[in-house]
Structures are given as structure tokens and as C-alpha cells.
Structure 1
Amino acid sequence: MQFSESWLRQYVNPSLDSDALGHAMTMAGLEVEEQHSVAPVFTKIVIAQILSAEQHPDADRLRVCKVDAGTGQELQIVCGAPNARAGIKIPCAMVGAELPPAEVGGKPFMIKVGKLRGVESQGMLCSGRELGLGDDHEGILELPADAPIGKDIREYLDLDDQIFVIKLTPNKADCLSLMGIAREVSAITGAALCAPKWNVPAVSFDEKRKVIVENKELCGRFSGRVIRGVNPQAKTPDWIVQRLVRAGQRSISALVDLSNYVMLEMGQPTHVFDIDKLNGDITVRWAKAGEILELLNGQTVTLQGPDSAGKMQDAGVVADQSGPVALAGIMGGNHCAVSDVTKNIYVEAAYWLPSAIQGRARRFNFSTDAAHRFERGVDPQNTVNCLEYLSSLILEVCGGQAGPVDDQVLNLPERKAVKMRLARAQKVIGIPLTNTIVGDVFQRLGFDFKQDSDAFVVMPPSYRFDIEIEEDLIEEVARMYGFENIPDIPPVASLKMSAKAEAKRGIHLLRQRFALQGYQEVVNFGFTDLESEKRLTGVAQEDVIAVLNPIASQYGVMRSTLWGGLLNNLKANLNRGSGRVRLFEAGRVFMRDSSVQEEPGKVAGFNQPQKVGGLAYGSFVPEQWASANRVVDFFDVKGDLERALDPLQFVTEAGQHPALHPGRSAQIFLKTISGKTVVGWIGELHPGLQQSYELPQAPVLFELDLDLIRDLGLPQPEELSKFPAVQRDLALVVKQNVSAQSLLDAMAASKQKFVRTIELFDEFKPKSGSSSMADDEKSLAFRVTLLNTQETLQDPQIDAVMAALLDAVEKKCAARLR
């Protein structure tokens, strides 16, 4: 919300300077995001009149002007503006004047006596942009004919007036108007509130335009009147234009300007139709499928009807007998817009239910001031009052005669009393309160209330949609009491640093491990789009957790995997020229789970585990002369995980996942004393998804349960052996469909006494007919490390162990010694 200080002080004028006023508003929850003068600092610029403007003898685009600046003598100034002519009044920078810098951070521009093409110039005639009043620099700024010559331009145009830009929270819809801000300032400072006054227009004829409201869940109140004989080309008063400009609105025409002015001042959006372009009665209803409307911004929209569930997808409309003429509460149509030839108008002010406006403008890819207000809530009791105010301004500026107000009250929100306990307010705010203090706060805010022992029962005003529960009233007490007046009291309990859990790995250490493997961390929203969620997880639509109020269509559901965000990150990097990408993310995912009960940190029916996921794309190492360039594969990423999760040991088993390549994906199992625990997945992206994401090659993905991989257990120390370890190699021939892990498991299950480690170090697959091995066989070589901590191992002991290992794999895996 942007406005000028002078406009605000017309309705409430506290004895505070500009800075103190801005601070007071910020401390009461109306954060002043920006505060600055109308124009930047400059000096010695006065109002002057051009007495004559002659062509420069040596330049076609320059004029030599004689100027009266109130100094008692004529000044000669060379000017290149095309509108420089005798008789007009303009801003004149005298010699020695300092103009604002041309760019941010630049130095002020000093005016000196100089020569332009051989002709002396004793000053400068200024455009609006040179004074910091806008971007117009096509000509010098022309001032009204009655502007006093010699007067300082800052004083004449009130350029020291402060512009406030307030950052409003969504619940403060009552402050989207000057009167709303003025009410707040009056309550904060205690200054008297002076509401705008006007004369109620006299009714000159009995004509009413029939309005039929078909849907009460769309429009709760509709007020309108006919005004005939207006002059649409009338000039908008300068004081209204000035206020609009300083509120960030440009002047368009008198009728539009007055409608915008009432919206900014009173908070009630209105609309003016050319009644001669309306065809028959007016109908307020939901849009029908296929209806087309050309809007005031030139955009043509095709409207949609209800979906299969009967829910409206588009906005409501104001329609005549030919079809829609405006999007209800959002924007008017071009068909019935007022123009320079308009003579008769229909002025409407309505209360559109917030639920009928919220999110509707977003579908059309624009937003409007009207929709911004209606979707947050507009005072339904002020509709006729604002209509009368706008009518009086139109009759005063544009002339004409007004008909009676047609007011239909259909579905106004029911306001319920809210109770606030004094003891509860003291506990929440943390300060001692009395009935007197609280009563004074509610009185200043204009709340109707009554006391019930140590509780207050408050009836919220019609313009305060945010007062619904006890905590809302407690917030009002805290705001008006003053956040800066609440004392800083240190906590009573002493703080104690908790010792790190020795058996758990910290998340930051895990992040560091992945970073050391070359992965960069990303942080994505917990939301994703429905199609990606279904493709990546294969869940049914009814199991997807939908967001009730998504911030955008691509964030409509909660994610149950981290891969969707990571793949979007990959796509964004590839689009910007990256050829090798390593990414990981640690965050929560969201899944339905009826077994989850309500408790601190948990929501009944929903499981929210923490996961760590990542992907690798491109070459397995950065391009270099010492290594052949090849694409990263399953085993490269598996190795990255082994190094990142060390000392935890995991195994992989082939498995099927909707998002992964059917033949190149596996489940990850963590080895524990009791067996194996599933902790995640690893594999290449499914070819169908690779095509959907338009990726030249498939990335390798992984996702792990964060809580399981953080649990390291306590280390078990043991004494270093005085005796040497012994290594033996075991080369085994098995069928090609036998996994190396099954051999390792078989050997581990035999539980040989002296075996410390068994590692696979070689794989051999023969070419057809070139070996004693069959075509469907392969050779796997294992290195077995043996150690006896009590004595040196002897050959008979070693041979017995190796024979037992060979016997185990022969029985369980049909292996033979090569």
C-alpha cells in the first residue's frame, strides 16, 4: 500500500514528524518498507516564465530563451526542449543549483554559466525526469498559469511530501485504503480521526437498471445507480491527480480516476459502465463454459464452466443479455468501458465473497487492485456509502444527474462475538495487563465490547475480517500496547549445551561427506506437481496429498520423493550449459500412513520421514588427459555412497521401482546384527521418464532413509594383532546370473574363525569358444584376509578355512574352483 503523508494527515494528524510516524506504524505491525520524499534532493530551482524563445543561430534543435525567474532581470538560457515557447511557466535551475544525479550513486549535477554553440546560457530549464518526478524527458515540465514566478519549486509542488510504502500482511485487508491506515494511526497515536465529508447527491429521476443476482455464494451485496448527462472529457482535479500519482496510479480519465480515488481512499473497488452499451438487464452469475470476454487490458479470455465435480473453475461475471461485460470483482470488459463519447453511466459497488475471488485472477495471469482487495475482504456495510461518495465526485467533476441507489443485500458474512480472557492475554504476551489497559486498546480500535468478569467479549467491526479467535484479540492488544514496550526478560532457566549423540552421525557431517564426493547440495520446495509425483512414485491419485491452497499450479501436491525436485534442478543446469552435474538434497517427504498418531511433531495419518537423495549425470570424472571419458554408471554412484556412508556397510539387490530403469535399479539394504534393513533405492532413471524430462542421457539416482543411515552404533575397539595377516585368492566359476553378493553371503554364513575380510577384486567373462568355461559362465576372484590374534597362522589352518569357504559356495551357489 503506497500513499503520501499529506493525504494521510488530512484524516489524522498526530503530533509526530515523518520518521516518528513511520516508526510508530512499523511497531504496530504496519511495516514501513520504504519512505522517501516525492522528489530527490535538489536546490535553487524556481518557477520561471519564458518571455521569448528564438531559434539558435548555429543549431536547429536549440532555442535561445529569455526567462523571468523573479530575480529582477531577464536570464538568457539555451534550451533544446521541443515545447519551449513564450508564455509558459516552467522550473528553472539557477546558476549554482544542484540537480539530482543522473544515476543511482552518482554525483549531483551542478549548474554553471556556460556556452552552447557559442551562445551563453545562464541556467537550465528542467524536465520532470531531471527533477526526479518521473521518466518524461521529451520536454520541459509545464506548470499551471497561476504558478507564482520566483517561488521555490519544492515548496510549490510540495516535493518534500513523504511517500510511505507499507508492507501489509494478508490479514490486514482493512489497511488497503487511506481510511483504514488513518484508523490505525488514530488508534496508535490517539490523534482524532476526521472522515471525508461530501454532499449526498440529489436524486433527479427514478430510473433504475434491473439487476438479477443468480448466485448468492458469489455476490453478497450489489449496489448501483444510473447517472445521465456526464462529461467524460472533464479534467480530473489536480489534487486528485497528485494523490493518485503519489499512490502509484497514473491518471487516465476523469471517470476512471474518480473510481480509483474512491478505492484508494475508502477501500471499496467500484466500476463504471457505459449504460448505452449495455443490452437489457444486468445479471450477476458464474461464468458459463465457452463464454468470451475482452478485458480492459486488451486480453481476451475464454471462460470455463464448472468441472465434473460441479466446482466453479473460473470467476463470476457481470453480464447483460448479450453475455459477460465484466469479470466479477476482478476487471471490467472493453465492450462497456467508458470513453470520450460516453454520456450516460451505470456505477456499481458490490461485496464479492472472498472465497469467490481468491485465486481467480491468477488463472488469467494478471492481478488487479480490485481482486487484491476483494479476495482479502471488503467492508460489506460500506458499499452504499462508497457509491454515494463516488457519485458525488462524478457529479461535481463531470456533471450530470443521478438516479436512486438500487441496493440488494443478499448474503453478508455473519460476524460472531470473540471472547478474550485477560489471564490468557497476560500469559501469551508476557506482560502484566489490567482491565483498564485492555479496555482502552479496544476503545481506540473502535471495537464494541463488554466485560464479563476478567474476560472481554468483542464484536468485531464489519471491516475487520481478521478478528475471529481469541489469539486475534491478543495480537491487537500487543500491537497497540507497543512491541517495543514489551520488556526484554532473559529466560529463567540456564542454557546447557547438549553433548553430541556418539552413536548417531550428524546431518552436517553427512552433507560434508557428499560434498567431498563432488555433490552440490540443493534445497527444493516440499511441493511438486501432480503429474511428476504420479510418474515418479506410481501411487494412485487418491493417495497423493493435495495442497489446499497451492502457491502455483506446479506446487499442487506434497512430494513423497526428492527425485522430482532434483530432476528439475538437473534440467535447469543442462539448459544453462552444464555437462556434468552432481546434486544431493536432504529433506522431508510426505506420505499417507494411518498408523501415525497425533503427537508433538507428527500429524495423525501422515508420515513425514527425512530422506537424502541425489543424482549423478555426465562423465564419471571431470574431463582430463589421464582418464578415458565415459558416462557415469550405477557402480560409480554406488562407490560414492560407500565412501559417504562409511563405516556403515550396505548391499544392493535388483529391484523394480516406477522411476528407475527395470534392469539397472536396486534396493539398498543396510547390514545389521539382526540381518538386513531396507534403506533406499539406487539406479538409472527410467527411459520413459528420461524422454519426459528431455534428457540426452539417463542420470543415476539414489534416495536413502536419513534416520537409518545416521545410526552408526558405538565403536568396538580391539587390540592390534602382533601377528601378521595372511591373504589367499579364491577364483570361482559360476553361472552369469549368480551375483557376487550371493557368493559373499554364502562365505560369510559359514562363519569361519580366522576370516577378517573377503573382497571381490576381479571378474572375467569369456568370449565364445575361447575358454574352458561355458558361454553362460563367469569367473569371480575373491581375496580372503585371515588373521589369528593369538599366534601365527599355519598352512593347515589356512587350508582348512579355504576348503570350508569353497565347500559353502559349491553347495549354495553351484560354484566350482577355477
Structure 2
Amino acid sequence: MKFSEQWLREWVNPALDTQALVDQITMAGLEVDGLEPVSGEFSGVIVGEVLSVEPHPDADKLRVCQVAGGDEVVQVVCGAPNVRAGQKVPFAVVGATLPGNFKIKKAKLRGQVSLGMLCSETELGLSERDAGIMELPEDAPVGQSLVDYLGLNDVTIDVDLTPNRSDCLSIRGLAREVAVLNRLQVEAPQTAPIAATHGEVIEVTVTAPEGCPRYLGRILKNVDLTVPSPMWMQEKLRRSGIRSIDAAVDVTNYVMLELGQPMHAFDRAELKGGIVVRMARPAETLVLLDGQEVTLSADTLVIADHEKPVAIAGVMGGEHSGVSETTRDLVLEAAYFDPITLAGKAREYSLHTDASHRFERGVDYQLARDAMERATELLMSIVGGEPGEIVDVTSEPHLPQATLIDLRAQRIADVLGLDIDRATVEDILTRLGLSIDQPLPEGWRIRVPSYRPDLSIEVDLIEEVGRVYGYDNLPVTEPVGALALRADSEAVRPLSAVQSFFVSRGYQEAITYSFVDPKVQALVDPDRDGIALANPISADLSVMRTTLWSGLLKTVAHNQNRQQPRIRLFESGLRFVREGDDIEQRPMLSGVVVGPNSPENWANGRRDADFFDTKGELEALFQLLGVQVDFAKGEHPALHPGQTAELFLAGQSIGWLGTLHPQVQKNLELNGTILLFELFLDAVLSGYVPNFKEISKFPEVRRDLAIIIENGIAFADVERVVRQQAGNHLTALRAFDVYEGQSVGEGKRSVALSLFWQHPERTLHEEEVHKLFNEVITALTEELGATLRS
């Protein structure tokens, strides 16, 4: 926001020079973006009066003027088209210096002597508008320095406010801040309520109170908009970056800058019936004041009459909402619009206005009536008029409610690193306009004023205390805290151990999106419905994954399409499964193996990896992690029926291993044998604590046997029975031969086993080994129907 330093000092005038004032405002959290003088640097320019204007005898576009201003009347040759007798103008006398070090000297123009120069706003560096000679008010004192008359010993201060400080988008808001920082009182202009002098009121209907909780309207009759705004008002607007247009527009802009309340003045003759505040209707259009025609969206709040929309609420008026010199009756508007309803509306229509800038950030919801009275007073003093009653349509339930915040003294000390006594805190809060609603034993209950919507939680108040107390006055403290080390369980392996394991075996770690193609996911996990995204970035990334296979198989396809025959990928990440009203997010470890078992070279044969290769790698991983995982025949809709294993840890299912189902592979257009595994990561990372065990010095005993079993019996069952019967000193069990053929019978196979016993403290006797061996054979026969192979 740009504002004039002189204007601010009319409200509050601290004993600080310009730079000190700017530094103080910046340190209070309102960063000053820049300073610039309100005019170019010049001297010797006074208020002059044009007494007469005659045509130049030798030039059609020049005029010979007699100008009073100094000790005598002098002749000035002027080429401005708007020069006329009786005009008060800026007059640069001989010896004056204009911006750019342009010196005024006695000169002859086409044979006529010219003793000075009549100046435009551009020539004085007041603006870039070149509309001829600058005209001064009729009561401007002839001969007075223009710098003194217009108060040009001033600077424009540009404050770069953060979006939360909407209360400082006005002179009153900035004055409050400066007054607080300097322990001064704000000298605000006093405006008394203006009584109505006629009985006509504007009919106001609000059908969208959630977007417009408060709307005020007043009719001001018999105004004369041919009267220009006073020079002091035009100058204050110019120094705030706003161009003067006419008295009605200037006054509403002035009140916006002064108090922070955007307003609008309608031509009463252009309104058909009363005012209706409503949401836009489907396909409704509006031609704005800038000539742009827009199609209004259904969630746009509009100001309308009984026939058509006349303005986008809080943003910009339409072509039928403006005033002109022929306007005789005004309808003044002041409203509070909900910031959420207006958020983004200006951008939606490629607009940005001073009103939208304020309404989107939040305007004081109690300010509208004061602004209406102030605008009425200013307009009546400039263009006359007869005011009517103020129509106030307010929906109290939709207005913001007063905020109460509990502030703790100890919390102030913790955050600021300084103990500030209660009296100082209370003084700062009171000067900020906050009221202490109720003292508390540990602090205060604070009531926030309506003009500070940015204060909502305790730390907001602490920030206010800190910045008013002075950031420079806060001590430099180092945070102190206990940093107790957490116990690190040796039984839990880090994820990095798993990653290192797979990398050492030639795998590449993949990182895929957590949202996947619903068609791919339906193929690999048809039993679960993916959680649909409300706003997906594309149709093929529209659901959350229930398995990491969805992303890995897409990666396999990507690599195969680029002639990569050997693929080894693993990934760790979350899966997302809906459990009732909740969403379970569980870490998973998945992998895919495609192509040759080992890289191609002269020493290795070309053999594709199979189910048992991948099973062996998982077994090596489990051995590293120290977990005992059992593999059992299983069924999974995405895996081959005869090449699928379900993994169990302590009787609980923890994952799957298998070959991709041929139909799924065909649908995904993948080549070769695709091996997949997926595990619950948290289940396999917790193993045993490694510990020392002495190696036995006594001899090991080995016994071999060959049994014939049904093909449907898994080796895991054989191993289970053997270990249950072989005693505590069985150190190893190995299957060293598997045979199928006519000699063992149809549907059967022979499995040859080696059993190893070793006692840690003595030599085993032949009798006890023989006894255990026979018990193993008996258990295999009884539980699995096995027979010894002769």
C-alpha cells in the first residue's frame, strides 16, 4: 500500500524523521518497500494567475499570456491548448529550475518575449498525465510557492504488507500501529451521524447472507458532479497511487484509503428497482466498467437490480453502475463480504482491484456504517446533496464472531525467551486495542477487536507482544532441551540393510507413484477397491495403490519396451487399503524378477530365473534379518495357480511369492516369466539378537534315508515332522536327491534326506542316534504316509 507521510502525520505525528519512521514501521513487521518524493525536484515555481490570453501573431498554436504572480505582471508565451484567462496555474519564473535541471530563462518565441513558463503536471514530476497546463483551485493564493501550497515536501511510503495484515490497508490502520509504537493517541477525524432530509430509501434484498452478511445503502439526492474534487483530496489520492476521476469516485476511494472500507457509488437512475445481493445465475453475463464482458460463474456473488447484475460484489462494478456529470441522485454502498466467498474471484475474471485486494484479506465487519457517514459528509461538502436514511441489512448469524484467546504468561517467556512483567504485557495489549476480557491465574483471556481478523490463536498474541516490545530488545538465547538417546533394539534391522542386500544381488531400487492406473490395479489386486482421488493428475493415476505390484509391473513394461531383457527391481513403500471408515497405510517390500538368472557372459549359461531362484534370495534375506519364515502353497488372483507360495511368520501371513498369472501377463503385454514377491515390511524387519554359541568339539553323526511320498506333500511338511522327532541335537537336515519315475509309482516321488546330530558336550552313542532315527521314520510313516525306499 502507498500512502503519504504527511497524511499519516495528520493522524499521528511521532517525533521521528522520515527514515526513523520508516525503520520503526519495518521493525514492527510492516516492511517498507520503498520511498519516493511526491514530485520532481524543482524551485522557483509559484502560483500564478493568467490575466489575459491573446493569439500569437506569428504562430497558430501559441498564445501570448499576461501572468501575475511575482512583483509585476509579465508576458509568457504558452502552447498549452487549455490555457485561459482567469486561470490559476503553476508559474515557473525566470531563474526557476524544473526537474531534470531545466533552467527557465528569458526567451523569445517567434518574436515574442517570454518571461517564464506555465507548467503541466508532467513537467513538475507530479504525474505522467500530460493534459496541458495544471489547473489550480480558484482560491489558490497568487504568488505563494507551489511547494508550500501543495505541501510537496512529502514522500510516498510503499508498505509491502503480508496478507494477514489487512487492518493496515488504510491510513487509520497504519496510524494505530505508529501510535502503539510511540505511545501516542490517534487524532482521527470525527464524523457525526448525518440525519436524513428526505424519505426515499433504496430497497435492499440479500439472498446470499453467507457471502454478504452486511449491506448498507443510502440515497444522496440532488448532487452536482460537475464540481471537481478539492485539490487536497486529489493530491492525497495521487500520492497513494490513485488517479482522480470525479467527486463521487474520489470520495469512495478516499474513504477506502482513509478507513479501509471499499465503497461504491451507483447512479440511481441506472438501477431498475432496488438492490439485490445474490449469486449469479447460469450463463449470466456482465459488462464491467473497463469494457470487458464476462460470463459469471454460479459461485460468483453479484450486486444486481431487479433486472440484471450491475457489479461483481467486492471486485468491480458494471457499465450500468458508474456515475457521470449528468448523475443527480447517488446510491452509496458499503458492505461486508465474506473473504472465503470472494477468494480467487478477481483472478477468475483476470482482475485485481483495490476493493478485491481488501475484501479477500478481510475488512472490519463493523466498519461499514462509519464509512457510510464519512463518505456522505465528504460528498455533501463537495457536491452538495440531500441524504436519506441508511438501509442496513445484516444477518448476525453469518457475521464473524468475537474471538476470545487465552494467553499464558509462561508461554510468552517460552516463545520470546524473556520474562516480561504482567503490567507491560497488559499495557501492550491495551494499546493494540485488545481488551482483557478476564484475568486468569496463569495469564489473560483476550477479546480481539473486529479489525484484527489475523489474531486467532495464542502465538498470534505473543507475536504482537514481541514486535511491540521490540525485536531489538529481545535477548539472544540458545534453546536448551534434553536430548536423551532412544534405545536402539538390535533385533530390529534398518531398512538400509534390506536395500543393501538387494543391491548386492543385482537389483535396482524403484520408486513409483502411490497413485496408479485403476485398470492395472484391478488386474493385480481384483479383491480390493482402490481409493479414488478427488482430483487426479491424470486418468491413469487416479487411485491409491493397494499393492506395490501395480507400479512395478508398469516399470517392467517400460523397460521391456526399451529392449531391456534382464530386470531386477525392488521397492519399499506404503499401500493404502480402506478398512471401514479408516484408511490403513502399511509399509510393504515388493520385488519383480524378469529374464536371465545371471548377466550374460562367456562363463554363464543362459537360463531364466525361476520360482526357486527368487525363493532362495528371499530365504537368504530372512537369514540376514534373523526371521524364520515358512513357505506354503497358496492362491492369489494375480499369480500362477501352480507357482504361488504364501509366506508365514509365527503363523501369520506376511506376503506372497509367485509367478505372474499368464492372463494378467497377456493383458499387460509383458514378455517372459515374471516373478513377483510382496511382504509386510514391518513384520520381517524384527528378528533375533545375534549371540555367541560355542562350536561343539565332538564328532557329528550322519544318517541317510530315502522315503516315497505323494506328490502333493510339501517338503516343508517333511521337514516339520523330522525336526519334531529328531530331538534337540539335530544340527542340519538336507534333501540331497529327488526322483520321480515308474520305479516309485504314479503320482509319487522319492526324497533322499541327510540328518546330522552333534552334542555340544559329549559324543553321541550309537543307540540313542538309532533310536531317534527310528522315531523319525515312524513319524513320517504315520503322519505323511511315507514308505522307505528299498
Q: Which runs of 5+ in 2 are unaligned?
A: 482-495, 497-514, 523-528, 573-593, 607-790
Residue in structure 1 matched with residue 381 of structure 2 by the alignment? 396
* Identity within the alignment, %: 41
For 1:54-133, list aligned pairs within 5 A. 55-56=55-56, 59-70=59-70, 72-101=71-100, 108-117=101-110, 121-133=114-126
Is the alpha carbon distance of 1:66 and 1:389 closer, same or farther for their aligned partners in structure 2, counting shifts above 3 Å? closer
1:438 to partner: Cα distance: 0.8
Does the residue aligned with 2:361 lie in a helix, a strand or coil?
coil
1:192-239, Cα deviation, whole Å (9 max, x unpaired) = 112221232222344333322222221111222333333333332332
Asked if 1:426 is matched to 2:413, the reply is: yes
For 1:175-574, list aligned pairs within 5 A. 175-305=168-298, 312=299, 315-410=300-395, 411-449=398-436, 450-488=438-476
Work out the CA distance in 1 between the residues paired with 2:158 and 2:408. Answer: 35
Is the alpha carbon distance of 1:51 and 1:558 closer, same or farther for their aligned partners in structure 2, counting shifts above 3 Å? farther
For 1:128-147, list aligned pairs within 5 A. 128-147=121-140
| Cα RMSD, aligned residues only | 4.1
Matching residue's letter, 1:316 = L
Is the alpha carbon distance of 1:594 and 1:271 closer, same or farther for their aligned partners in structure 2, counting shifts above 3 Å? farther
CA contact (8 A) 2:2 2:239 kept: yes
Choose the corresponding residue for 2:600, options 745, 752, 755: 745
Work out the CA distance in 1 between the residues paired with 2:197 and 2:185. Answer: 36
1:332 to partner: Cα distance: 2.0
1:676 to partner: Cα distance: 5.4
Work out the CA distance in 1 between the residues paired with 2:203 and 2:195. Answer: 21
Is the alpha carbon distance of 1:469 and 1:61 closer, same or farther for their aligned partners in structure 2, counting shifts above 3 Å? same
Asked if 1:152 is matched to 2:145, the reply is: yes
Residue in structure 1 matched with residue 16 of structure 2 by the alignment? 16
Work out the CA distance in 2 between the residues paired with 1:92 and 1:252. Answer: 25
Work out the CA distance in 2 between the residues paired with 1:560 and 1:130. Answer: 63
Could you tell which deviates more after superposition, 6-15 or 480-489? 480-489
Residue in structure 2 matched with residue 656 of structure 1 by the alignment? 557
Work out the CA distance in 1 between the residues paired with 2:212 and 2:266. Answer: 18
Matching residue's letter, 1:19 = Q
Is the alpha carbon distance of 1:274 and 1:146 closer, same or farther for their aligned partners in structure 2, counting shifts above 3 Å? closer
CA contact (8 A) 1:545 1:592 kept: no
1:310-331, Cα deviation, whole Å (9 max, x unpaired) = xx3xx11222321322222222
CA contact (8 A) 1:224 1:407 kept: yes
Is the alpha carbon distance of 1:363 and 1:110 closer, same or farther for their aligned partners in structure 2, counting shifts above 3 Å? same
Does the residue aligned with 1:387 lie in a helix, a strand or coil?
helix
Work out the CA distance in 2 between the residues paired with 1:7 and 1:209. Answer: 34
Work out the CA distance in 1 between the residues paired with 2:193 and 2:363. Answer: 22
Does the residue aligned with 2:22 lie in a helix, a strand or coil?
helix
Residue in structure 2 matched with residue 702 of structure 1 by the alignment? none
Does the residue aligned with 1:219 lie in a helix, a strand or coil?
coil
1:3 to partner: Cα distance: 1.5
CA contact (8 A) 1:223 1:350 kept: yes
Does the residue aligned with 2:185 lie in a helix, a strand or coil?
coil
Matching residue's letter, 2:341 = A
Is the alpha carbon distance of 1:538 and 1:81 closer, same or farther for their aligned partners in structure 2, counting shifts above 3 Å? farther
1:473 to partner: Cα distance: 0.3
Work out the CA distance in 2 between the residues paired with 1:39 and 1:228. Answer: 37
Matching residue's letter, 2:434 = F
CA contact (8 A) 1:544 1:557 kept: no
Does the residue aligned with 2:334 lie in a helix, a strand or coil?
strand
Matching residue's letter, 2:474 = I
Does the residue aligned with 2:403 lie in a helix, a strand or coil?
coil
1:261 to partner: Cα distance: 1.6
1:626-680, Cα deviation, whole Å (9 max, x unpaired) = xxxxxxxxxxxxxxxxxxxxxxxxxx998435xx9x94486996xxxxx75579x
Work out the CA distance in 2 between the residues paired with 1:742 and 1:53. Answer: 104
Does the residue aligned with 2:461 lie in a helix, a strand or coil?
helix
Is the alpha carbon distance of 1:656 and 1:205 closer, same or farther for their aligned partners in structure 2, counting shifts above 3 Å? same
Q: TM-score, normalised by structure 1?
A: 0.60
1:246-300, Cα deviation, whole Å (9 max, x unpaired) = 2211222222222222222111122222333333343222111111222222222
1:113 to partner: Cα distance: 4.3
Work out the CA distance in 2 between the residues paired with 1:333 and 1:52. Answer: 44
1:489 to partner: Cα distance: 5.3
Is the alpha carbon distance of 1:136 and 1:223 closer, same or farther for their aligned partners in structure 2, counting shifts above 3 Å? closer
CA contact (8 A) 2:200 2:219 kept: yes
Q: TM-score, normalised by structure 2?
A: 0.62
Residue in structure 2 matched with residue 572 of structure 1 by the alignment? none
Residue in structure 2 matched with residue 613 of structure 1 by the alignment? none
Does the residue aligned with 1:168 lie in a helix, a strand or coil?
coil
Residue in structure 2 matched with residue 575 of structure 1 by the alignment? none
Matching residue's letter, 2:88 = K
For 1:556-705, list aligned pairs within 5 A. 655-657=556-558, 663-664=561-562, 677=570
Asked if 1:171 is matched to 2:157, the reply is: no
Work out the CA distance in 2 between the residues paired with 1:23 and 1:53. Answer: 50
1:534 to partner: Cα distance: 9.5
CA contact (8 A) 2:50 2:88 kept: yes
1:391 to partner: Cα distance: 2.4
Work out the CA distance in 2 between the residues paired with 1:284 and 1:404. Answer: 19
CA contact (8 A) 2:417 2:477 kept: no
Work out the CA distance in 2 between the residues paired with 1:386 and 1:426. Answer: 40
Does the residue aligned with 2:90 lie in a helix, a strand or coil?
strand
For 1:751-766, list aligned pairs within 5 A. none
1:611-638, Cα deviation, whole Å (9 max, x unpaired) = xxxxxxxxxxxxxxxxxxxxxxxxxxxx
Is the alpha carbon distance of 1:151 and 1:533 closer, same or farther for their aligned partners in structure 2, counting shifts above 3 Å? farther
Matching residue's letter, 1:247 = S
Work out the CA distance in 2 between the residues paired with 1:445 and 1:462. Answer: 12
1:593 to partner: Cα distance: 7.9
Work out the CA distance in 1 between the residues paired with 2:212 and 2:246. Answer: 28
Is the alpha carbon distance of 1:353 and 1:666 closer, same or farther for their aligned partners in structure 2, counting shifts above 3 Å? farther
For 1:788-799, list aligned pairs within 5 A. none
CA contact (8 A) 1:176 1:264 kept: yes
1:142 to partner: Cα distance: 2.9
1:430 to partner: Cα distance: 2.1
Work out the CA distance in 1 between the residues paired with 2:233 and 2:468. Answer: 32
1:471 to partner: Cα distance: 0.9
Does the residue aligned with 1:261 lie in a helix, a strand or coil?
helix
CA contact (8 A) 1:545 1:557 kept: no
CA contact (8 A) 2:521 2:545 kept: no
Does the residue aligned with 2:600 lie in a helix, a strand or coil?
helix
1:126 to partner: Cα distance: 2.2
1:38-88, Cα deviation, whole Å (9 max, x unpaired) = 112222222334455555565444445454441x34545443333345543
